[in-house]
Chain A
Amino acid sequence: MRRSYVRALGTVALAATLVVAAGCQDSGGGEGGTASGDCGGKIAIFGAFTGDNAGLVIPSLNGANLAVEQFNAANPNCKVTMQQFDTQGDPAVATPFANQIAGDNSFLGVIGGHFSGESDATMPIYQAAGLAMVSPSATRTDLTQKGNTSFYRVVGNDGTQAGAVASYLKTQNAQKVFMVDDASAYGAGITDELGKQLGPLVVNKDKIQERQTQFDATVSKIKSSQADFVFYGGYTREAAPLVKQMRAAGVNAKFVGPDGLYDTAFPSGASGGAEGAIITCPCLPADKAGGTFSADYQKKFGIPPGSYGAEGFDGATIYLDAFKAGKKTRADILAFVKSYDKQGVSKYIKFDAKGDVDPTKVVIWAYQIKGNAIEALQELKLS
């Protein structure tokens, strides 16, 4: 008898520990409270705030939180709240959240999605509900080409980024480019765009799958292609082991990847293998962002803003401006976003008819891995 009591108690204790730990996470999440007064309102932000690729998204969340906090401090009579929905970047998780947000009339706008896949899956739901979506980082080109009227992004698309990668590779005198992608909405999208621009420079390609860990076949294909550049379209989780296994096998081709790898988990996960790798990103180096954003961010979070910190701030700012202008309905806010025309911290923000920012205002930077840091290298010319 006694033994089974002990066991039951042990189980309860374990369960309690788990619940407490899970609770800690949640309490760090959404900012509670409801809107008050005539001014203000509630917005939602969704994205991969935990999970394998969270490092890419957290800066944007922080940036948006910073914007809301500064706004509320400066406008005590106009309280804005922002609730977080952690999708882990998974369209299947994002969809029920989208239904929940769309069905709750207190939400007046949405920041997100942060990845292309989750944005694609939830766009029709938000459009049907008349909610504006402002994405800080969903870059797949066709997101804005499907006739959706409520999706806007404050970031350049993959077509623009692929063009910049192509012109970078050409200035580096690339002769044989081997392309690998993870067959995801984002990875395959940007890799195909690049393939179109590079044409005969592409010597061979391979597709891997998400969660793959061993890349013998891919590495031997790269080896026998004698490529001088390897382009990888995808995210950190697969890129870090891939580049490490490439280097271990003695492949010296230069490794180039898009903004999906802009995450310090990439160099640290590859433990040295990623040294010198090039990452392109339509995101500004911290010190190039406008206003006091970088300093404020550094002060609040203790680290410099990483990928899309400034874009997250800009995304939130659009809604904050809408509230300040007295917009109170989903339709008014959507119209406000559509006609937004103002300098943001990341770039000048004005959307074209499809919801993309003006391509000439997009800036794309190349970064280089040095140790465990991602250092700004140069601004890329858009082809």
Chain B
Amino acid sequence: MHFDELIGHLGQHTVDGLSKGAIYALIALGYTLVYGVLRLINFAHSEVFMVGTFAVLILWTQLGVQNNPPVGQAILFLVLGLVVAAVASGGTALALERIAYRPLRRKNAPPLIFLITAIGLSLVFVELFGQVLPKLLGTVLPEAFGRPRQIVGMPTIIQQETLFTIGNTAITNIQLIVFVAAVAMMALLDWFINRTRYGRGVRAVAQNPETAALMGVNQERVIMLIFVLGGIMAGAAALLWSMRFGFTQNSIGFVLGLKAFTAAVLGGIGNLRGALLGGLFLGVVEVYGATLFASNWEDVIAFVVLIVVLMFRPTGLLGESLGRARA
């Protein structure tokens, strides 16, 4: 137990946890959006994120990006990375829905079939990037697929530096960018769902699909929209991940997806603001737990907290609802 370390640098650990949790929160949005509308836990969403990191990796290595490029170029690479990751992840999410989920919905498959399909798709993608693509593209894209199933590094786009210090809490440029970008993306999504015509359609379908259909909302289009939106958020998370941690692997989605799903449940699955809160909360709790005990305890602490929260608030911190009027 390292209480003195935790209390002595409480601010620092909180900042570390918030920037860690911001990425969980962005991925959690994908789980929460799909669950809110379809009551489906899309376990393949973690691989949507993984595809995004590979898209960024391929883009940067094909552009020949070196470590620490000048600021102007760095911004260009990040913006390009965001576009490519969003397209790749959004496209993957859309493909999942069109190829796998829609045919099941047409046949009125029971919920368990959706769940097992999602898990199966997740494995298919992990092996696609671990075995099939390395076979097909190993020589064309050696940076990404030359070492099947191993971790691959990416160039460092932004050198981590301390921007300012409050007390003994140092805040780095990367942490600030990750946090601000993640919160901005989520605010944008929140605005989209709550303030636009499309968002109203999403909320209508979430509340009552039949009535929404009677009112002229195209349900299939709404479902495509939420998969794409969730994918874009995962793409943004993939870019922030690549910038901050700079590596990827075919199996990288598994643990992160599990954490993001936990964050979604913690905040109240189906609830966008809950995903944000749950993600940040989980990140902070993990860092506290890892500091207090050892780093291999962080999952234990995180899941104990999840269980305790669910004991007192079974629907999560903010409750389940995607724009639902009733409490």
CB of B295 within 8 A of CB of A271, answer no
Contacts of B153 in A (CB 8 A): 240, 244, 268-273
Contacts of B154 in A (CB 8 A): 271
CB of B247 within 8 A of CB of A240, answer yes
CB of A249 within 8 A of CB of B151, answer no
Contact check: which of B9, B174, B246 meets A220 at CB < 8 Å? B9
CB of B249 within 8 A of CB of A52, answer yes
CA gap between A268 and B254 in the complex, in Å: 22
Size band of the A side of the interface?
Answer: 35 or more
* Given contacts A207-B296, A208-B296, A249-B160, A220 and B151 within 8 Å (CB-CB): no
Contacts of A215 in B (CB 8 A): 295
The B8-51 residues at the A interface (CB cut-off 8 A) are 9, 12-13, 16-17, 19-20
CB of B247 within 8 A of CB of A271, answer yes
Q: Is B291 in contact with chain A by the CB < 8 A criterion? A: yes
CB of B247 within 8 A of CB of A25, answer no
CB of A269 within 8 A of CB of B247, answer yes
CA gap between A24 and B135 in the complex, in Å: 9
Main secondary structure of the interface of A (DSSP, over half): helix
Smallest beta-carbon distance A379→chain B, Å: 29
Contacts of B209 in A (CB 8 A): none
CB of A245 within 8 A of CB of B147, answer no
Q: Is B194 in contact with chain A by the CB < 8 A criterion? A: no
Contact with B along A171-210 (1 / 0, CB 8 A): 0000000000001000000000000000000000011110
* Given contacts A208-B296, A244-B246, A250-B160, A236 and B12 within 8 Å (CB-CB): no
A-B interface pairs (CB < 8 A), number: 128
The B270-318 residues at the A interface (CB cut-off 8 A) are 286-287, 290-291, 294-296, 298-299
Smallest beta-carbon distance A151→chain B, Å: 28
Contact with A along B151-169 (1 / 0, CB 8 A): 1111110011010000000
Size band of the B side of the interface?
Answer: 35 or more
Contact with A along B235-276 (1 / 0, CB 8 A): 000000000011101011011100000000000000000000
Q: Is B139 in contact with chain A by the CB < 8 A criterion? A: no
CB of A216 within 8 A of CB of B5, answer no
CB of B151 within 8 A of CB of A217, answer no
Contacts of A212 in B (CB 8 A): 255, 295-296, 298
Closest to A267 in B: B153
The B115-174 residues at the A interface (CB cut-off 8 A) are 124, 127, 131-132, 135-136, 147-156, 159-160, 162, 172, 174
Contact check: which of B17, B131, B245 meets A245 at CB < 8 Å? B245
Interface stretch, picked from A14-22, A35-43, A308-316, is A14-22
Smallest beta-carbon distance B296→chain A, Å: 4
Most buried by B among A206, A217, A236, A250: A217
Contacts of B249 in A (CB 8 A): 52, 237
CA gap between A119 and B54 in the complex, in Å: 34
CB of B296 within 8 A of CB of A18, answer no
* Given contacts A241-B245, A271-B67, A17 and B132 within 8 Å (CB-CB): yes
Contact check: which of B103, B147, B160 meets A7 at CB < 8 Å? B103
Contact check: which of A21, A52, A183 meets B296 at CB < 8 Å? A183
CB of B131 within 8 A of CB of A21, answer yes
CB of B156 within 8 A of CB of A55, answer no
Closest to B255 in A: A211
CB of B247 within 8 A of CB of A248, answer no
Contacts of B150 in A (CB 8 A): 52, 54-55, 236-237, 265, 269
Contacts of B245 in A (CB 8 A): 213-214, 241, 244-245
Q: Is A292 in contact with chain B by the CB < 8 A criterion? A: no
Most buried by A among B9, B256, B290, B299: B290
Closest to B16 in A: A216
Contact check: which of A218, A249, A268 meets B147 at CB < 8 Å? A268
CB of B160 within 8 A of CB of A220, answer no
Contacts of B251 in A (CB 8 A): 52, 211
Closest to A210 in B: B296
* Given contacts A52-B150, A240-B151, A244-B246, A218 and B290 within 8 Å (CB-CB): yes
Closest to A219 in B: B16
CB of A211 within 8 A of CB of B254, answer yes
Contacts of A240 in B (CB 8 A): 151, 153, 247
CB of A52 within 8 A of CB of B295, answer no
Contact with A along B204-225 (1 / 0, CB 8 A): 0000000000000000000000
Contacts of B135 in A (CB 8 A): 21, 24-25
CB of B294 within 8 A of CB of A207, answer yes
Contacts of A268 in B (CB 8 A): 147, 152-153
Contacts of A291 in B (CB 8 A): none
CB of B246 within 8 A of CB of A271, answer yes
Smallest beta-carbon distance A58→chain B, Å: 11
Q: Is A328 in contact with chain B by the CB < 8 A criterion? A: no
CB of B156 within 8 A of CB of A221, answer no
Contacts of A216 in B (CB 8 A): 13, 16-17, 19-20, 287, 290
CA gap between A248 and B174 in the complex, in Å: 10
Closest to A50 in B: B149
Closest to B241 in A: A213
Contacts of A326 in B (CB 8 A): none
Contacts of B136 in A (CB 8 A): 21
CB of B160 within 8 A of CB of A217, answer no
CB of A241 within 8 A of CB of B151, answer yes
Contacts of A145 in B (CB 8 A): none
CB of B160 within 8 A of CB of A221, answer no
CA gap between A92 and B9 in the complex, in Å: 41
Closest to B151 in A: A269
Contacts of A271 in B (CB 8 A): 67, 153-156, 246-247
Q: Is A96 in contact with chain B by the CB < 8 A criterion? A: no
Jot down 6 A-B pairs with beta carbons below 8 A, ordered by A.
Answer: A52-B251, A208-B294, A220-B12, A240-B247, A248-B174, A268-B147
13 more CB-based (< 8 A) A-B contacts, given A214-B20, A221-B2, A248-B160: A51-B149, A54-B150, A206-B294, A209-B298, A212-B295, A213-B256, A217-B298, A218-B290, A236-B150, A248-B156, A265-B151, A271-B155, A272-B156
Interface residues of B (CB under 8 A from A): 2, 5, 9, 12-13, 16-17, 19-20, 67, 103, 124, 127, 131-132, 135-136, 147-156, 159-160, 162, 172, 174, 245-247, 249, 251-252, 254-256, 286-287, 290-291, 294-296, 298-299
